[in-house]
Chains A and B, each alone.
Chain A
Amino acid sequence: MANPDAVAVAASPEAIAARLAASRYLADDSLATAIFLAIRLGKPLLLEGAPGVGKTEAAKAVAELLGRELVRLQCYEGIDAGHALYEWNYQRQLLAIRHAGEHEIDIYDDRFLTARPLLQVLRAPEQRLLLVDEIDRSDHEFEALLLEFLSDFQISIPERGTIRAATQPIVILTSNRTRELAEALRRRCVYHWIGYPDAQREAEIIMLRAGHVAEATAKAVANAVQEIRARPLAKPPGIAEAVEWANAATILEKGGSPWPQAFRRAIGVLIKDEEDLSAIAPELGRIVEEALG
């Protein structure tokens, strides 16, 4: 079952939303509910969404809210058990054998075991939170391996036997949805789709995240970004880019560029694709003017 201290923190979705806001992450009701349910039902939380909507940030905020250390497992094509579960430190084992000489030595002792993220979390489920980032990048075999871990929360090491978690760890998975995940994995998780926020919420996020940005600037950036996202771009700007844009424009403005121009000159931090830039360039002036007005 879910562990008691986490349950105490997760009294209701509203309590979670409030504490997330305290750790500078603005969650909407739906996300707060999903986090609440994941903690209380003791299931992994699967977050899907376009790149740059704050999936990884959400995991960091949840770790902070529970006062736990975040253990991140970044997935990539070809990731295998040696990177995710554990690995023996062979060099040390060899040295130990040499060193021991005639004495008996257990070369499968704890000190020769290098714990990778899944094992790290299993060993201290109450102090750590596991983030499996961008699981859609890994291949199907790894997904199957993870499935086993997520259903029983145990790892078998042939030389040592099975290691089980004392209490159920909290796990967050993120996916950019570049491919469909296995049904079996989706089924085991509490699911939430993070979309782009509306202009008002985005302005709030920008205010919270950016350093010294005036409220009017944040609102203008949020409006302009909404407008830009509505276009068929190869890479629509995420929230992180919007925050960067607000920051960059503010710096340029302090350096002496007047407002609309500061936005235009800082566009490189918002749109990072040559084709998108040339597509948006003719309209950018109008979009910024309207957003400011």
Chain B
Amino acid sequence: MRRPENLPRAAALFLGFARLLRDHAFAIAPEQITSFMQAVTLLGPRSMNDIREAALATLAPSPDRRDEFEAHFRAHFYGDAKPSIEGEKDDETRVKDDRGTREEEKQTIRQEKSGELSSALEQLSSRDFQREPDGLGQFRRKLASALPARRSFRTMRTRSRGTLDLRRSLSEIVSADGDIPSPLLRRRQAVSRKLLLLIDISGSMKLHTADYLKLAHAAVQGADRAEVFTFGTRLTRITSALRIRDREQALARAGALVDDWDGGTRMGPTLLAFLSVPRFSAFARGACVVILSDGLERGSHAELEIAMRRLSARAFRLSLASPLAGDPRFRPETAALRAILPALDDLVDGSSAKSLTDFILSLARPAPAAASIWKRIS
């Protein structure tokens, strides 16, 4: 361990702990280390617990990583064996946030990748070379203005249609020596709604996954606020990977994040897992939620129905784009689809990038509910 020359021996222990945490991808600022040492001094410290409390309060590990933090604490101050971070239980749907993972974990995943998975990845990139101009550039440019808007609390100056801007009017009056010039107005700004894409990457969607990811990349690049998650047997947030401008690089990064390519689907449980993480479900509030999936749920669809109902209660508009709906003979007749149809605002064709981009760009235009459209057709 590096140790500055003029630091007391006792202090080195605490500095060492902060460095250990940093090595494990906890974000810790220098001022937090100073506070940590001050806190330890203030508390006595009379016991090991005082040190622990001081560390918790000043180094502020996120509640999700609390167990990991405790393990490191024990290892450092009690000299326990190196912490082994256990994997989560299998029966729970695993939620992966691209910010929370540790660097080394990512590496092991990359190494453990089975042949099948990596070949899927290679397919991704090789397809990229084959088709270049696919209309996504236009989609990206149009998206920000095409999304539905809501009124923000922020105001902007305007010449017509607004309320009096008292602050600016008053300074005008003062500078005009008490004369009242034409009143200055302001109006609440319109901001575009958030866009949330949930992409099904299970085996049955294999043909479309690559297109969907490219579309998601264009959406993240184009929209002011967009989030992208993939789901199959697990839920993975890939938004920050897709923020990379270069598409190939972004898709390769996203590909490495996701562990459940082309597996089974557990749509209901993964969507419920999405809703149970507060900051994810908060993102869905007032957002345009587009689920890209064929809606084929294995087993019972009770959970899917609950999840869809909750999502639609939060979302501004909930849409399901299914590649099956591209077929003119398609009818929402499976039990799962029939159950979730009342919760959906749209059930549209997701078989090609063209139809999908057209649909997303039309989200601001009102449309009748999915249930009434499909009742008319069948």
Please give the residue numbers on chain A whose beta carbons come within 8 Å of chain B beta carbons, in ascending order: 13, 29-30, 33-34, 36-38, 40-41, 43, 46, 48, 76-80, 88, 90-91, 93-94, 97, 107, 136, 176-180, 183, 186-193, 232, 234, 275
Interchain CB contact under 8 A, A41 and B38: yes
B32 interface hit (Cβ, 8 Å): yes
Q: Are A187 and B32 in contact (CB under 8 A)?
A: yes
Whether B35 lies near A41 (C-beta < 8 A) is yes
| In the complex with contacts A97-B178, A232-B276, A275-B306, A37-B58 CB distance below 8 A | yes
With CB as the reference atom, state the residue of chain A lying closest to B272: A232
Q: A37-B54, A80-B153, A234-B310 are in contact. Are A97 and B279 (CB under 8 A)?
A: no
The answer to whether A90 and B50 touch across the interface, beta carbons within 8 angstroms, is: no
Give the shortest distance, in Å, between A289 (CB) and chain B (any CB). Answer: 27
Contact B170 A178 (CB under 8 A): no
B369 to chain A, nearest CB (A): 21
Contact of B283 among A177, A179, A188 (CB under 8 A): A179
**B42 within 8 Å of A by Cβ?**
yes
> For the complex, what is the distance from the CA of A79 to the CA of B154, rounded to whole Å?
8
Chain B contacts of A88 at CB under 8 A?
Answer: 167, 170
Contact with A along B262-296 (1 / 0, CB 8 A): 00000000001000101101110000000000000
Across-interface contacts of A107 in B (CB, < 8 A) = 170, 174
Residue numbers in B under 8 Å from A186 (CB-CB): 60
A84 to B241, CA, bound (A): 35
Are A94 and B66 touching (Cβ within 8 A)?
no
Closest to B286 in A: A77
Contact across chains for A13 and B35 when beta carbons are under 8 A apart:
no
Across the interface, A37 reaches (CB within 8 A) one of B57, B178, B282, namely B57
Could you jot down 5 A-B contacts, CB within 8 Å?
A: A36-B43, A37-B43, A37-B57, A177-B278, A179-B283
Q: Given A41-B38, A93-B170: A187 and B57 within 8 A (CB)?
A: no
The answer to whether B53 touches A29 (Cβ under 8 A) is: yes
Q: A33-B43, A178-B278, A193-B63 are in contact. List 20 more A-B contacts (CB 8 A).
A: A13-B43, A29-B53, A33-B53, A33-B54, A36-B43, A37-B57, A78-B154, A80-B153, A90-B166, A94-B170, A94-B173, A97-B173, A136-B282, A176-B278, A177-B278, A180-B99, A187-B31, A188-B31, A192-B56, A275-B306
Which residues of the other chain, B, contact A34 by a CB distance below 8 angstroms? 53, 56-57
| Across-interface contacts of B60 in A (CB, < 8 A) | 46, 186-187, 189, 191
Is B20 at the interface (CB under 8 A from chain A)? no
B58–A190 touching, CB < 8 Å: yes
Q: Decide yes or no whether B29 CB sits under 8 A from chain A.
A: yes
Q: How many residues of B contact A (CB 8 A)?
A: 41
Q: In the docked arrangement, what's the CA distance between A36 and B281, Å?
A: 34
B152 interfacial contact with A, CB 8 Å: yes
B167 touches A191 (CB 8 A): no
Q: Which A residue's beta carbon lies closest to that of B63?
A: A193
Q: Which of A179, A188, A191, A232 contacts B57 (CB 8 A)?
A: A191
- Say yes or no: B282 contacts A191, CB within 8 Å: no
Question: A37–B169 Cα gap in the complex (Å)?
Answer: 47
Q: Is the CB of B58 within 8 A of A77?
A: no
Contact between chains at A180 and B279 (CB < 8 Å) = yes
Closest Cβ–Cβ distance, residue B97 to chain A (whole Å): 9
Top 10 A-B pairs ranked by shortest CB distance?
Answer: A78-B153, A191-B60, A178-B282, A90-B166, A33-B53, A179-B279, A34-B57, A187-B29, A193-B63, A190-B57
Tell me whether B344 is interfacial, beta carbon within 8 Å.
no
Q: Indicate if the CB atoms of A48 and B57 lie closer than 8 Å.
A: no
Cβ distance B319 to chain A, nearest Cβ, rounded Å? 22
Indicate whether B75 reaches chain A with its CB closer than 8 angstroms: no
- With beta carbons under 8 angstroms apart, the residue of A37, A97, A183 that contacts B39 is A37
Tell me the residues in window 115-173 of chain B with beta carbons closer than 8 Å to chain A beta carbons. 152-154, 166-167, 169-170, 173
B13 within 8 A of A: no
Residues of chain A contacted by B43 (CB below 8 angstroms): 13, 33, 36-37
CB distance from B6 to the nearest CB of A (A): 23
Minimum CB–CB distance from A10 to chain B (whole Å) comes to: 10
Bound CA–CA A25/B90 (angstroms): 40
Let me know if B25 is at the binding interface, CB within 8 A: no
Looking at the assembled complex, report how far the CB atom of B299 sits from the nearest CB atom of chain A, in whole angstroms.
Answer: 18
In the complex, what residues of B have CB within 8 A of residue A46's CB? 60
